[in-house]
Structure 1
Amino acid sequence: MTGAAGQRVRRGRPDRRLQTRKALLDAARKLFAERGIHGAALDDVAHTAGLTKGAVYSNFAGKPDLVLALLDECVTSAPRLHGRWLDASDEDRLLAQLLAEFWLYGMRDGAAGWRVAEWAENQRREIARKIAARDGTGPEGKAPEDGEAGPGASAGGGSEPGEEAARRATLAMAMEMGLALQHLLDPDRVPAEVYRSGMELVLGPKPRR
């Protein structure tokens, strides 16, 4: 078919495929958080999305492919943690549950594991750069000016932090992940204030303006 009507048909098919893929990812996000990755079958994902199991296989090679696609989407749409779960909104609680599921899945599956590890490393680097900028623990012993890469700049921009900042960033990430899970499981005995106090010990108090 040619002309404007034909163009509408050709445009509509990719749009429908994207909508189907999004519906499957949204269903997987909900079920994986509620039941765990191993507890949610592809039949369940298809049913929740209002689709057939054939729709799953027309968009994903199988369950591992679906899991990795959802991981990529979560990492892209929520690239930073930094205490987001303190708000305890439904979306942030869901993200924390999904990250725990991805972490466990990554420990069992190498293809998922390196993506989870890469995401965590990016988080650590960002925290380490903030530490270096805050207290002058960068490679030259001073924080770079705003907008200036400075000595030891990385390819992605910014200055590579020193070893001390990197260690503290690793501790901060451990608290970010560990305390998030403890707080969401038992908020009364692991209140948000524990996270704030711990981060201040690791990162140092916020500088006064």
Structure 2
Amino acid sequence: MLDAAAAVFAAKGIASSSVTDIAEAAQLTKGAVYSNFASKDELILALMDEQVSQRLADAIKAFEMVPDLNVAVQAIGHSLVAAIHADGTWQNLLFEYIGLARRDAEMREELARRRRENRAAVARQITRLAEARGVELPLSAEELTVTILAISNGLAMEGGIEPAAVPDDLFARLMALILGPALEAE
């Protein structure tokens, strides 16, 4: 169902898609969709949660596979930018949903709640990885998480408009600037 929803949203956008469209694409009834998700918004948010979880898992894997911290940060950066270039659909949906939520208090509140949960999950992993490597972070894990998300979303936006504007190593270079002292101590 999530795959069908992602395909429908990618083709038509969030605002122009309906639960009926998603049910048809998934070869289900509308009732079957509603038995799993209370609304189209809940379905979109589930897609976003799935994407965040997958990107976090990919980043952790890239980081843990490389013993050298500098190389690990570059591996994460390349992984993230490759994901941005490979499939902009998820970013487009996030940006569209943010635009819709800015005008709807209930949507905005639920999006904010989920983003807080996602940021907390990322911050926990940053803390765990920093402690495992004995690295002193230049910002709190929470602040570093917000910074990473802001930069990656900004790069995704720019890359979605003009892919050549976002070189494959740009995110890694930015992280190296932010993490500079921690990387030098390694």
- TM-score for both structures, normalised by structure 1: 0.58
Q: Report the RMSD for the aligned CA atoms in angstroms.
A: 3.5
Separation in 2, partners of 1:127, 1:105: 30
Paired residue secondary structure (1:79):
helix
| Equivalent residues of 2:119, 2:145 under 8 A apart | no
| Equivalent residues of 2:37, 2:43 under 8 A apart | yes
| Equivalent residues of 1:42, 1:63 under 8 A apart | yes
Deviation at 1:134, TM superposition (A): 6.3
Change in 2 beyond 3 A, CA 1:181/1:85: farther
Deviation at 1:177, TM superposition (A): 1.8
Which aligned pairs between 1:43-192 and structure 2 lie closer than 5 A? 43-80=20-57, 82-83=76-77, 84-88=79-83, 92-104=87-99, 107=102, 108=104, 109=107, 110-127=109-126, 130=129, 136-137=135-136, 163=139, 167-192=143-168
Separation in 2, partners of 1:166, 1:89: 23
Separation in 1, partners of 2:32, 2:141: 47
Q: Gaps (5+ residues) in structure 1?
A: 1-23, 138-160
| Equivalent residues of 1:31, 1:40 under 8 A apart | yes
- TM-score for both structures, normalised by structure 2: 0.64
Q: Gaps (5+ residues) in structure 2?
A: 60-75
Change in 2 beyond 3 A, CA 1:90/1:25: farther
Paired residue secondary structure (2:16):
coil
Identity rate, percent: 34
| Equivalent residues of 1:172, 1:203 under 8 A apart | no
- Matched AA of 2:56: P
| Equivalent residues of 1:182, 1:190 under 8 A apart | yes
Once the two structures are superposed, residues 32-67 of structure 1 have per-residue CA deviations (whole angstroms, 9 ceiling, x without a partner) of: 234332221112111211233233233333323323
Deviation at 1:135, TM superposition (A): 7.5
Once the two structures are superposed, residues 92-142 of structure 1 have per-residue CA deviations (whole angstroms, 9 ceiling, x without a partner) of: 5334334434544554411232012221233245346656776853xxxxx
May I ask how many residue pairs the two structures share in their alignment? 163
Greater radius of gyration (CA): 1
Separation in 1, partners of 2:85, 2:22: 20
Which of the pair is proportionally richer in helix? 2
Separation in 1, partners of 2:144, 2:49: 27
Change in 2 beyond 3 A, CA 1:166/1:113: closer
| Equivalent residues of 1:85, 1:92 under 8 A apart | no
